[in-house]
């Protein structure tokens, strides 16, 4: 995969522009790979034609393109007429959460978790019900989930595969989860935007298709933003499993939620219809990187540990038994000039963790790992 450092340093995206040129950024979840040629041609064609007017050609294809992609990749095809387009995964998640709850109602998340989930609940005036997952395996605990619920809990925000741990919840965990969801009549928003980034030997299990009890209770959120590195496209498709959510959404006028731009739609449709070979190469590189990081951590035996993720391109590193346990990402930024995400952003219990994005070249991964161990050993 091409990762020209000069190109990376001149990008205006958050990842490479936030820190100075001596810092290697491995924080926000963008990849460093040059995009798929099919994605580039989709937008190039619009530029060449100067085709910047009302153009809904690709926006109209978003739903069938996603449904086909999910059908071919994950073994269930969401019905087109139960899907809706949004301008980001977070928009879909927030819209459904707000429609299906009242201020003061409880909304569950399982921490550590992608930090905007918590902000979304708080900003909407809902109550965060934080069901903490436990190190080192971060598996789902049905009893803990059940005990945390009260009669005013309405919605669960789920993330499969899970950011930041890279865990794919197993069939057994999903079945336990479904029991409690049914018992308490909850609506599930399942953010599955990492579904395409699984490693060999692991398979994404979509909640909606993995358990009958969840089918009509789950909103599944999909996007090309992670697998194809298209966060700038502002584009998302969601399957509305519950009929009442579909009819609630239909009460809103056409432009209320907005639709993605022609640019975002064009690149997203190109990714889902022609991007598979590029994705395969990206996954091979990411898997090599994951195995390299994991191997180095074992070989160095410095106290640093990392659970081998089944999906994503995120290394969820535990510095508890190292000299950097107090605030690893700050220490590593100050001393090693590498930018990781602080663990505490994902959960109160994770102050000794840091999340490292490894969707980059072998060279950069090696440098990141070298700098971590140099700091740990100094
Ligand atoms: C689990 C998860 N959900 C949502 C998002 C944000 O997606 P979007 O930019 O489409 O809102 C991210 C970004 O990394 C993520 O990891």
Where do the domains of the chain lie? 5-37+276-377, 52-273
Q: Which atom of ligand 1 is nearest to the CA of 231?
A: 9
Residue 199 has a pLDDT of: 98
Given a contact cutoff of 8 angstroms between Cβ atoms, the answer to whether 156 and 181 are in contact is yes
278 φ, ψ (degrees, to nearest 5): -65, -45
**What's the rounded Cα separation, in Å, for the pair 345 and 347?**
6
CA neighbor of 371 nearest in space, from 331, 343, 330, 338: 338
Residue whose CB lies within 8 A of the most ligand 1 atoms, among 15, 207, 225, 235, for a mutation test: 225
The pLDDT of residue 301 is 87
Query: 300 CA to middle of ligand 1, Å?
Result: 33
DSSP 342: E
Query: What distance in angstroms lies between residue 190's CA and the mean position of ligand 1's atoms?
Result: 12
Q: Which residues have CB under 6 Å of ligand 1?
A: 29, 88-90, 114, 159, 163, 191, 193, 223, 225, 231, 236
CA of 20 to the centre of ligand 1 (A): 25
Q: What is the pLDDT of residue 292?
A: 98
pLDDT of the residue at 161: 98
Q: What is the CATH architecture assignment of 5-37+276-377?
A: Alpha-Beta Complex (3.90)
**Phi, psi of 285, deg, nearest 5:** -65, -45
Determine the atom of ligand 1 nearest the C-alpha atom of 223.
Answer: 10
- What is the model's pLDDT at position 4? 87
Exposed (0-12), middle (13-18) or buried (19+): which is 126, by Cβ within 10 Å?
A: buried
Residue 6 neighbours by CB distance under 10 Å:
6
CATH 3.40.640.10 fits 52-273, yes or no: yes
Tell me what pLDDT residue 163 has.
98
Question: What is the distance in A from the centroid of ligand 1 to the CA of 7?
Answer: 24
Residues found in the chain: 378
Q: Distances in Å between the alpha carbon of 87 and those of 42, 84, 214, 264?
A: 19, 10, 25, 9
Query: What's the predicted TM-score (pTM) here?
Result: 0.97
Listed in sequence order, the residues at least 6 apart from 215 whose beta carbon sits closer than 8 Å to its beta carbon are 208, 209, 241
Q: What is the pLDDT along the chain (378 residues), one digit of tens a residue?
A: 877 889 999 999 999 999 999 999 999 999 999 999 999 999 999 999 999 999 999 999 999 999 999 999 999 999 999 999 999 999 999 999 999 999 999 999 999 999 999 999 999 999 999 999 999 999 999 999 999 999 999 999 999 999 999 999 999 999 999 999 999 999 999 999 999 999 999 999 999 999 999 999 999 999 999 999 999 999 999 999 999 999 999 999 989 999 999 999 999 999 999 999 999 999 999 999 999 999 999 999 899 999 999 999 999 999 999 999 999 999 999 999 999 999 999 999 999 999 999 999 999 999 999 999 999 999
């Amino acid at each position: 995969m091409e990762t020209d450092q000069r190109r990376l340093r001149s990008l205006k995206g958050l990842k490479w522009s936030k820190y100075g040129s001596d810092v290697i950024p491995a924080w926000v979840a963008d990849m460093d790979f040059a995009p798929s040629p099919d994605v580039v041609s989709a937008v190039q064609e619009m530029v060449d034609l100067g085709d910047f007017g009302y153009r809904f050609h690709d926006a109209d294809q978003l739903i069938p393109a996603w449904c086909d992609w999910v059908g071919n990749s994950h073994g269930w095809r969401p019905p087109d007429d139960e899907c809706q387009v949004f301008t980001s995964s977070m928009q879909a998640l927030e819209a459904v959460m707000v429609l299906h709850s009242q201020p003061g109602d409880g909304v569950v998340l399982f921490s550590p978790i992608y930090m905007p989930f918590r902000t979304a609940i708080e900003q909407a005036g809902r109550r965060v019900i934080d069901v903490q997952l436990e190190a080192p395996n971060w598996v789902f605990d049905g009893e803990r989930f059940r005990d945390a619920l009260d009669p005013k809990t309405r919605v669960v925000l789920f993330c499969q595969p899970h950011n930041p741990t890279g865990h794919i919840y197993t069939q057994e965990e999903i079945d336990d989860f479904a029991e409690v969801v049914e018992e308490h009549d909850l609506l599930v928003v399942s953010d599955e935007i990492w579904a395409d980034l699984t490693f060999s030997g692991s398979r994404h299990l979509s909640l909606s298709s993995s358990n009958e009890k969840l089918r009509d209770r789950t909103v599944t959120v999909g996007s090309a933003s992670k697998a194809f590195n298209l966060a700038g496209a502002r584009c998302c498709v969601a399957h509305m499993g519950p009929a009442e959510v579909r009819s609630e959404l239909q009460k809103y006028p056409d432009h209320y939620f907005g639709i993605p731009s022609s640019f975002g739609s064009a690149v997203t449709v190109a990714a889902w219809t022609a991007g598979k070979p590029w994705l395969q190469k990206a996954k091979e590189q990411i898997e090599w990187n994951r195995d390299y990081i994991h191997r180095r951590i074992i070989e160095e035996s410095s106290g640093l540990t990392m659970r081998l993720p089944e999906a994503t391109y995120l290394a969820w590193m535990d510095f508890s038994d190292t000299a950097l346990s107090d605030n690893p990402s700050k220490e590593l930024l100050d001393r090693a000039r590498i930018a990781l995400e602080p663990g505490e952003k994902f959960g109160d219990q994770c102050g000794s963790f840091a999340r490292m994005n490894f969707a980059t070249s072998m060279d950069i991964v090696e440098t990141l790992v070298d700098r971590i161990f140099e700091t740990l050993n100094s």
